Amino acid sequence: MKKVTGYEAIRIAVDCEENDSVDIKAGGPPTLGYDFYVDPEKVDEIINIIRDELHKQGQSVMSISARGTRIVKKVWTKDQIQKCIKEGYPGGK
């Protein structure tokens, strides 16, 4: 049996804009945005950081929500999230 190790994290889903119909028909998601897995104790702080950074970068935002928990190998830090949004990595990758 494989031992599961990691951090319990909450997923913050950020929907920024609707995807175009051609990409959706090819299997893409209906909305484009970011997913960040963060420390459950820092959810409210991280949501504020995300909102501020999106505003600073002039990116639109449709919704931000915290959804469910998962065991992950690493959680996102404030600096990593800001860099990701600044560099515009869709999907939070």
> 81: buried, middle or exposed (CB in 10 Å: 19+, 13-18, 0-12)?
buried
- pLDDT tens digits along 38-85: 999 999 999 999 999 999 999 999 999 998 999 999 999 999 999 999
Predicted confidence at residue 13, as pLDDT, reads 95
Sign of CA dihedral 72, 42, 79, 85: positive
Predicted confidence at residue 3, as pLDDT, reads 64
Predicted confidence at residue 93, as pLDDT, reads 41
Please give the model's pTM, rounded to 2 decimal places.
0.83
| pLDDT score of 89 more than 80 | no
Query: Cα separation of 52 and 41, whole Å?
Result: 19
Give the residue among 14, 26, 25 at the shortest CA–CA distance from 90.
14
